[in-house]
Amino acid sequence: MNVATTSHDAASGVKPVRIGMFGLGTVGGGVAKLLLSRRDIISREIGRPIELTKVVVRDLHRTREVEVPAELLSTDPDAILEDPTIDIVVEVMGGIRPAGEWLRRAIRAGKHIVTANKDLMATEGVELLRLAAEHGVDISYEASVGGGIPLIGVFRQDLVANEVQSVHAIINGTTNYILTRMAQDGADYLPALAEAQALGYAEADPTNDVEAIDATYKLAILASLAFRTHVPPPQIFREGITKLRAIDFRMARELGYVIKLVAIGRRHKGADGTADSIELRVHPTLLPKHVLLAGVNGVYNAVHVQGDLVGDVLLYGRGAGSGPTSSSVVSDIIDIAHNVNAGVSNRVPFRVTDNLPLLAIDDVQSRYYVHLWVADQPGVLAQIAQVFGDHGISIASCIQKETDAKAGTAELVIVTHGAREAGMRDALHQFETLSAVRDLGSVLRIETP
């Protein structure tokens, strides 16, 4: 890549918008490349020259895909934080420390913030936004969820007249890639993970993705937008994808479902005079194959929103990668530059004011798919049905799949009507005490967004 490095300001006499960036990894490299190679286009868009003034990195001498002029690089955060000419700080280094502290210093110094940092925004976002409002600066974080998919602006502006009823989101590309491979090739989890790792879609230690931790951070951000309620990510119920087996995908397909890792947020209307509450959870989920979200494959992400006015809205695109993420970062930079030009900040106030209580997972209602092996003998199905009935769980359909004559077992797939999570958990505990239940396979929740 070959980019010009001369400055506009001297020539035009117009004060440029100056950018300081923390981080020059995949996303930072993409942003730097855009700011340097499309400087003319971006400058024309904002009506003033844009200038990448300083990039703070950990290692000055690392080889990088993008050629950033050496004089722009520094290892000292003060090169940005103490430079009063820098208008906008772009934070693409990730992690909560030291990013949070640096951004607080930047805010206090009157600098606007563009960040792609989902961990930080999910954890300390409300505090940062409040601090920014106090100091008359903006924080934009479109890139923190869903890569290039327009989400933050959509919730804050386009859907603002709605009361959001629910959000169903496929927001982790790594797991969606693995699940897509398992569904399409009948692969088991470990080979599918290995393939994702080989392609660079999964990290060497995939825990953060496959245990749905990443998705809880993103759901926390979506919930703050959709329900105006901050929930710390560790409070969000999560189940990972590591226990899914090839047979679950075959069964799901036969029943007309696909399996996706879905982040679910739902508003429950309070009874007369009581406040609404919200339900938040992330887990492998059976989706009817005809719903649009079921067709979201590979590394793609999608968010399905239900608003009381707008009805169903779905937003789909690439949830990660240099191109999509830097598309969002640069659009945030341009948006803030418009504000700088107009001399405004916090034009659209961000209100996390509703503080709806989080429904305990025990009280969440769901339909379930239960797959188990039982003794192939008379009366077993009656026993199973009795346990479900005792816990208030109604069976919607039941398929006895095949009998293994040698082992004397039969395979049962039961789909339930809506049941309380606590009731299902108790029923499953009781199955473990039944001698007729030989193996409790998968228990998966079913959703129809």
Does 315 bind a copy of itself (CB under 8 A)? Our answer is: yes
Decide: is 148 part of the binding site for a copy of itself (CB under 8 A).
Answer: yes
56, 73, 88, 154: residue in contact with a copy of itself (rule CB under 8 A): 154
Could you tell me the CA-to-CA distances from 323 to 32, 34, 60, 108, 332 in Å, in that order? 11, 9, 23, 31, 14
**310 is a contact residue toward a copy of itself (CB under 8 A):** yes
Interface with a copy of itself includes 25 (CB under 8 A)? no
What's the Cα-to-Cα distance from 405 to each of 166, 216, 377, 437, rounded to whole Å? 46, 44, 11, 16
**Three-state SS string across the chain, please?**
CCCCCCCCHHHHCCCCEEEEEECCCHHHHHHHHHHHHCHHHHHHHHCCCEEEEEEECCCCCCCCCCCCCHHHEECCCHHHHCCCCCCEEEECCCCCCCHHHHHHHHHHCCCEEEECCHHHHHHHHHHHHHHHHHCCCCEECHHHCCCCCCCHHHHHHHCCCCCEEEEEEECCHHHHHHHHHHHHHCCCHHHHHHHHHHCCCCCCCCHHHHCCHHHHHHHHHHHHHHCCCCCCHHHCEECCCCCCCHHHHHHHHHHCEEEEEEEEEEEECCCCCCCCEEEEEEEEEEEECCCHHHHCCCCEEEEEEEECCCEEEEEEEECCCHHHHHHHHHHHHHHHHHHHHHCCCCCCCCCCCCCCCECCHHHCEEEEEEEEEEECCCCHHHHHHHHHHHCCCCEEEEEEEEEECCCCEEEEEEEECCEEHHHHHHHHHHHHHCCCEEEEEEEEEECCC
Q: Among 37, 323, 395, 415, which residue sits at the site for a copy of itself (rule: CB under 8 A)?
A: 323
Segment 372 to 401, residues that bind a copy of itself, using CB under 8 A? none
Provide, rounded to whole angstroms, the least separation between the CB of residue 278 and a copy of itself: 18
CA–CA distance, 13 with 5 (Å, rounded to integer): 17
Min dist. Cβ of residue 422 to a copy of itself (A): 34
Please report how close the Cβ of residue 259 comes to a copy of itself at its closest, in angstroms. 18
- The least CB distance from residue 293 to a copy of itself, in Å, is 10
Q: Which of 1, 160, 190, 407 binds a copy of itself (CB under 8 A)?
A: 160
Which member of 317, 423, 441, 449 binds a copy of itself (CB under 8 A)? Answer: 317
Question: Could you say which residues in the range 330-349 bind a copy of itself, by CB under 8 A?
Answer: 330-331, 334-335, 338-339, 341-344, 347-349
Query: How many whole angstroms separate alpha carbon 438 and alpha carbon 142?
Result: 49
By CB under 8 A, residue 328 contacts a copy of itself: yes
218 included as an active-site residue: yes
* Distance between CA atoms of residues 300 and 316, nearest Å: 7
Q: Supply the minimum distance, in Å, between the C-beta of residue 3 and a copy of itself.
A: 16
User: Quick one: which segment of 105-113, 157-165, 375-383, 437-445 binds a copy of itself (CB under 8 A)?
Assistant: 157-165
Closer residue to a copy of itself (CB): 46 or 393: 46
Choice between 60 and 309, CB closer to a copy of itself: 309
Count of chain residues binding a copy of itself (CB under 8 A): 57
Among the listed residues 67, 158, 188, 426, the single contact to a copy of itself using CB under 8 A: 158
Among 247, 316, 383, 426, binds a copy of itself (CB under 8 A): 316
**Which residue is catalytic, options 218, 243, 269, 289?**
218
- Is the CB of 315 or the CB of 398 nearer to a copy of itself? 315
Does 327 sit near a copy of itself (CB under 8 A)?
yes
| Residue recorded with tokens 């379930």 | 368
The verdict on 38 binding a copy of itself (CB under 8 A) reads yes
Q: Which stretch binds a copy of itself (CB under 8 A): 67-75, 143-151, 191-199, 258-266?
A: 143-151
List Cβ neighbours of 173 (8 Å cut-off, separation of 6 or more).
Answer: 147, 201, 298, 299, 300, 301, 318, 319, 320
Q: Shortest gap between Cβ of 58 and a copy of itself (angstroms)?
A: 26
Copy the structure tokens of residue 155: 């919730």
Residue from 25, 94, 150, 288 binding a copy of itself (CB under 8 A): 150
Stretch that binds a copy of itself, among 218-226, 265-273, 278-286, 300-308 (CB under 8 A): 300-308
Q: How far apart are alpha carbons 85 and 296 in whole angstroms?
A: 44
Residue 91 Cβ vs a copy of itself, minimum distance, rounded to whole Å: 18
Task: Determine if 244 is a binding residue for a copy of itself (CB under 8 A).
Answer: no
Q: Choose which of 25, 94, 153, 357 interacts with a copy of itself (CB under 8 A).
A: 153
Site for a copy of itself in 40-99 (CB under 8 A): 42, 45, 47
Positions marked catalytic: 218
Residues binding a copy of itself (CB under 8 A): 30, 34, 38, 42, 45, 47, 142, 147-150, 153-154, 157-162, 290, 292, 295-296, 300, 302, 307-318, 321, 323-324, 326-328, 330-331, 334-335, 338-339, 341-344, 347-349, 351
